[in-house]
């Protein structure tokens, strides 16, 4: 397993280089510059800034210098937030996105698996139909609609929760973002769990377990559930990395200092260094979660060997 992890990690290096290269040229070749504003910079200031950031050098030379720094973990200073190195911005924002993303995913898994198991066990009953209809309705409401409604009801209406803000990650401030983010994946997880469990409980070893007189809850939870989680684990890898970076709307509505808001602002303002820094982190997260997903799969299913 250690060799597998090392192998996958080394394989991530060319992937990272490819992502950085494409991103670098995409941002640099797009129209606009980080020094553009409605009231323009004096020409000599713009020229000095461009020289200071190396923009007066040929693009390939800029690329080589940038990649060299990036591989040393130095993404430079943000063009927008001029007092902050990109590394510092990411170090502050990533834990925030990670906390909300992991909690949201945990919420999705707990609720989604529970609903999926319930629907599978009570297949073709009213409970099954009601559950599936309910979660599909939930899936149809994207976070950008759900979040303001959630705020309207639970914060402004009932006054149970704060309207917005991070407040150093206080529990009440997490409820809204976690639920609004997590509900969206509940549907996918519930459907996957239901379909997978329905397939697994038809296996002979499940029939054997029942024949041995085990109570149904032990048959389902103790024997069938484990194998049925395999497709879910495959889904979770990419889902987790996208939930960590793609939470812009929820961060905006709840005013959370996460990575998603930075990425959008950086792209709009041509903050090259911040865009590339966040892109690198996103790439690393995708690789990491995919590796973890594979390892988890191997742990769940003894028939799978990591090679």
Partner 1 sequence: MAHRKNAFHVFLVTLLGAAAAPSLSVVSGGVSSAAWAAPKGTVLKIAGGKEIESLDPILVDGADAALVARGLYEGLVVSDPKTLEPKPGLAESWKVSADGLTLTFKLRSGAKWSDGSPVTTKAFLAGWKRALAAENGAYYASYFDVIQGAENYRKAKTAAERDFTKVGIKAPSESELVLSLVQPAPYLLDLMTQPIFAPLHEASFAKHGKAFVKPENLVVTGPFRLAAWKLKDKLELVRNETYHDVRNVKLAGVTVFPVDDAKTAYNLYETGQVHWTRRVPLATLASLRTRDDFHLERMLNTVYLRFNTTRGPLKDARVRRALSMAIDRKIIADKVAREGQEPARTFVTPGLAGYTSTFAIEENVEKAKALLAEAGFPGGKGFPATTALFISDEQSKNVVTAVSAMLKKNLGITISPRNLERGVYYDALDALNYDIARSSYTAKFLDAKSFLDKFTSQNTYNNLTGYKSPAFDTLVAKAEAQSSPKERARLFAEAEKVLILDDAVLMPLYFNTSINMWKPELKGLHTNVLDVHPLKDLSLESALVKK
77 has which bridge partners?
85
Q: Is 52 an interacting residue with respect to partner 1 (CB under 8 A)?
A: yes
Comparison of 89 and 121: residue with beta carbon closer to partner 1? 89
Comparison of 125 and 268: residue with beta carbon closer to partner 1? 268
44 torsion bin: left (phi>0), alpha (psi -120 to 50), beta (else): alpha
Please report how many Cα atoms fall inside a 13 Å half-sphere around the Cα of residue 84, on the Cβ side: 15
- Least distance to partner 1 from the beta carbon of 210, Å? 19
Among 86, 99, 193, 294, binds partner 1 (CB under 8 A): 99
Q: Is 31 an interacting residue with respect to partner 1 (CB under 8 A)?
A: yes
Q: Which of residues 158-217 bind partner 1 (CB under 8 A)?
A: 159, 162-171, 174
Angle at 32 between CA 27 and CA 37, to 5 degrees: 130
- Least distance to partner 1 from the beta carbon of 55, Å? 13
| DSSP per-residue letters across 48-77 | HHHHHTTTTS-HHHHHHHHHHHHHTT---B
3-state DSSP assignment of residue 85:
strand
Q: What are phi and psi of 85, to 5 degrees?
A: -65, 150
Among 5, 103, 198, 284, binds partner 1 (CB under 8 A): 103
Among 59, 145, 299, 304, binds partner 1 (CB under 8 A): 299
Instruction: Tell me the CA end-to-end span of the chain in Å, nearest whole number.
Output: 8
Comparison of 155 and 180: residue with beta carbon closer to partner 1? 155
Provide the mask over 78-97, with x wherever binding to partner 1 is found by CB under 8 A and - wherever it is not: --xxxxx----x--xx----
Q: Is 257 an interacting residue with respect to partner 1 (CB under 8 A)?
A: yes
Comparison of 165 and 215: residue with beta carbon closer to partner 1? 165
Q: Which of residues 262-291 bind partner 1 (CB under 8 A)?
A: 262, 265, 268-270
Interface region with partner 1, contact rule CB under 8 A, candidates 56-64, 65-73, 251-259, 279-287 = 251-259
CB 233 within 8 A of CB 300: yes
Comparison of 14 and 302: residue with beta carbon closer to partner 1? 302
Comparison of 50 and 128: residue with beta carbon closer to partner 1? 50
CB 161 within 8 A of CB 172: yes
- Least distance to partner 1 from the beta carbon of 129, Å? 29
Comparison of 17 and 163: residue with beta carbon closer to partner 1? 163
Q: Which of residues 104-163 bind partner 1 (CB under 8 A)?
A: 105-107, 109-110, 148, 151, 155-156, 159, 162-163
Residue 255: both structure tokens together? 């005013």
Interface region with partner 1, contact rule CB under 8 A, candidates 16-24, 30-38, 205-213, 279-287 = 30-38
Between CA 110 and CA 234 the distance in angstroms is 16
Between CA 101 and CA 258 the distance in angstroms is 10
Q: Is 254 an interacting residue with respect to partner 1 (CB under 8 A)?
A: yes
Q: Is 45 an interacting residue with respect to partner 1 (CB under 8 A)?
A: yes
Q: Is 239 an interacting residue with respect to partner 1 (CB under 8 A)?
A: no
Task: Look at residues 3, 10, 14, 12 and name the one whose alpha carbon lies nearest to residue 306.
Answer: 3
Count of residues interacting with partner 1 (CB under 8 A): 72
Distance from the Cα of residue 132 to its chain's centroid: 25
Task: Look at residues 182, 179, 178, 176 and name the one whose alpha carbon lies nearest to residue 108.
Answer: 182
Residue with tokens 């980080």: 34
């Amino acid at each position: 397993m250690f060799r597998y992890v090392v192998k996958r990690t080394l394989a991530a290096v060319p992937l990272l280089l490819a992502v950085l290269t494409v991103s670098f040229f995409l941002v640099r070749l797009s129209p606009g510059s980080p020094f553009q504003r409605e009231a323009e910079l004096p020409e000599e200031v713009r020229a000095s800034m461009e020289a200071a950031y190396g923009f007066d050098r040929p693009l390939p030379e800029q690329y080589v210098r940038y990649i060299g720094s990036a591989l040393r973990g130095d993404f430079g200073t943000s063009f927008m937030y001029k007092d902050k190195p990109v590394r510092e911005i990411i170090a502050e924002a990533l834990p925030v996105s990670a906390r909300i993303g992991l909690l949201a995913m945990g919420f999705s898994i707990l609720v989604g698996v529970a609903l999926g198991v319930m629907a599978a066990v009570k297949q073709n009953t009213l409970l099954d139909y009601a559950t599936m209809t309910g979660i599909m309705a939930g899936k149809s409401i994207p976070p950008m609609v759900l979040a303001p409604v959630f705020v309207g009801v639970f914060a402004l209406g009932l006054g149970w929760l704060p309207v917005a803000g991070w407040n150093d990650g206080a529990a009440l401030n997490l409820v809204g973002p976690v639920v609004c983010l997590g509900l969206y994946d509940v549907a996918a997880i519930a459907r996957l769990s239901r379909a997978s469990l329905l397939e697994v409980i038809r296996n002979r070893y499940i029939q054997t377990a029942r024949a041995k007189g085990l109570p149904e809850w032990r048959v389902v939870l103790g024997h069938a559930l484990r194998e049925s989680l395999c497709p879910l684990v495959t889904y979770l890898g990419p889902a987790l990395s996208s939930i960590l970076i793609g939470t812009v709307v929820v961060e905006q509505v709840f005013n959370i200092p996460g990575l998603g808001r930075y990425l959008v602002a950086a792209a709009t303002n041509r903050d090259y260094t911040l865009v590339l820094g966040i892109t690198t982190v996103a790439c690393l997260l995708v690789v990491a979660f995919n590796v973890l997903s594979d390892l988890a799969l191997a742990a769940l299913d003894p028939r799978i060997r990591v090679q």
